[in-house]
């Protein structure tokens, strides 16, 4: 998909394979995968399967901890689902696109509502810069620069393949 006048093409499936390689190197024997709803949850679900992990990946919703809740409202219908004890856990959070850092701040608050992990790390498919908070990914499959007027989000086809959607703000 072309993102800016045909100059940038991102292949979501190729980036997924790079993310799989990076996540494999970050996994420890007790690492738990969780994904931020919705794109991050899709990534965590597929990674969980491709890594041959038991159980299922967790899902984190940022809806209740957003600092822009008054403007956005309850935009996500997905609720947090964590099937492991968060206390003392090594948690690897997955997200599709890291931008301002505000969603990560919100899901950290959500995660700590469930307990106190030993370690929380972040891996993303795309880091687009533009941080407003001091948040960094441990691993990013790609780093791209986009105008603030564009949004980038992961989409999933009916057959489970990934692609990107770009919208003007």
Residue 64 — very low, low, confident or very high, per pLDDT cuts 50/70/90?
confident
Q: pLDDT digits over 82-101, tens only?
A: 999 999 999 999 999 999 99
Token pair, residue 145, equals 């620069």
Domain ranges of the chain: 12-168
In 3-state terms, what secondary structure has residue 166? strand
What per-residue confidence (pLDDT) applies to 2? Answer: 39
CB 152 within 8 A of CB 8: no
- Please give the radius of gyration of the chain, using alpha carbons only, rounded to the nearest integer: 15
Report the pLDDT value the prediction gives residue 5, as an integer from 0 to 100: 40
Token reading at 155: 């989409």
Taking 90 as the threshold, does the pLDDT of residue 169 lie above it? no
- HSE toward the beta carbon, residue 50, CA cutoff 13 A: 17
Average pLDDT of the segment spanning 39-54: 97
pLDDT tens track for 111-147 = 999 999 999 999 999 999 999 999 999 999 999 999 9
Whether the Cβ atoms of residue 31 and residue 88 lie closer than 8 Å to each other: no
> Domain 12-168 belongs to what architecture?
3-Layer(aba) Sandwich (3.40)
pTM: 0.90
Over residues 72-81, mean pLDDT: 70
Q: Please report how many Cα atoms fall inside a 13 Å half-sphere around the Cα of residue 38, on the Cβ side.
A: 9
């Amino acid at each position: 998909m072309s993102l800016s006048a045909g100059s940038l093409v991102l292949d979501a499936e190729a980036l997924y394979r790079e993310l799989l390689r990076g996540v494999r190197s970050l996994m420890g024997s007790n690492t738990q995968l969780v994904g931020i709803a919705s794109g991050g949850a899709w990534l965590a679900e597929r990674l969980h399967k491709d890594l041959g992990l038991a159980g299922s990946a967790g899902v984190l919703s940022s809806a209740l901890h957003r600092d822009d809740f008054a403007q956005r409202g309850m935009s996500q219908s997905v609720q947090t689902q964590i099937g492991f004890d968060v206390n003392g856990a090594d948690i690897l959070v997955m997200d599709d696109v890291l931008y301002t850092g505000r969603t990560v701040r919100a899901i950290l608050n959500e995660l700590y509502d469930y307990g106190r992990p030993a370690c929380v790390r972040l891996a993303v498919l795309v880091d687009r810069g533009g941080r407003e908070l001091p948040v960094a990914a441990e691993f990013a499959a790609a780093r791209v620069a986009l105008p603030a007027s564009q949004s980038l989000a992961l989409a999933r086809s009916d057959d489970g393949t990934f692609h990107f959607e770009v919208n003007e703000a």
